[in-house]
Amino acid sequence: MPQTKSTEEKKRKGLTLVYTGAGKGKTTSAMGVAFRAAGYGMKTAMIQFIKGSMYCGELESAKMLAPYFEISPMGKGFVAIGNKKITVEEHKKAAHEALALANEKMLSGEYNVIICDEINNAVKLNLIDVEEAADLINNKPEQLHLLLTGRDAHEKIIAMADLVTEMKEIKHPFKNGIIAQQGIDY
């Protein structure tokens, strides 16, 4: 006799979430999801597509949540900001390496949540093609949660997502000459 799924099993579904917009809080919100998932013993991997050359406090926090949360900073830093010695080709190579790692971890069966931090930026900056990002969504295992962050999410990605949240800047201290603050911004 074939087994039928319980009502609870039918309701469970891996979601595709997009955190986008010009306001702050996309990566921070994604880390909140990782923090919450760790509380349930769920494993989360965050692959950072742009960040990588700068130290951020979340790298140490992730170590404290191990083995439930890990971060892989794969980027070369912000494109056309800061270190201008890094070519666009180097940024593209790093973004494709991040994409390959995201696919590998997503299909490994070891994780419950995969966060592709700033992948939307990578698409907008033409470091990876929107179809490559869409393939992540299309190839995601049924029960895995996939979270894509970054400004300027492509309309195709937005259409494919189950949940989209836009962060809107109302006020920012940088406009008053206040630099990024340790523990708040990085």
DSSP assignment, residue 170?
A: S
Q: Are 158 and 123 in contact (CB under 8 A)?
A: no
Residue 90 lies in a domain: yes
Residue 176 lies in a domain: no
> Residue 108 maps to which CATH number?
3.40.50.300
Q: What is the tally of helices (H) and strands (E) in the chain?
A: 7, 6
Domain that holds residue 133: 13-167
pLDDT confidence of residue 181: 84
Three-class SS of residue 19? strand
Q: Which stretches of the chain drop beneath a pLDDT of 50?
A: none
Q: 126-172 pLDDT, tens per residue?
A: 999 999 999 999 999 999 999 999 999 999 999 999 999 999 999 98
Domains identified in the chain, total number? 1
pLDDT confidence of residue 82: 54
Residue 177 lies in a domain: no
Provide the whole-model pTM. 0.89
pLDDT confidence of residue 174: 82
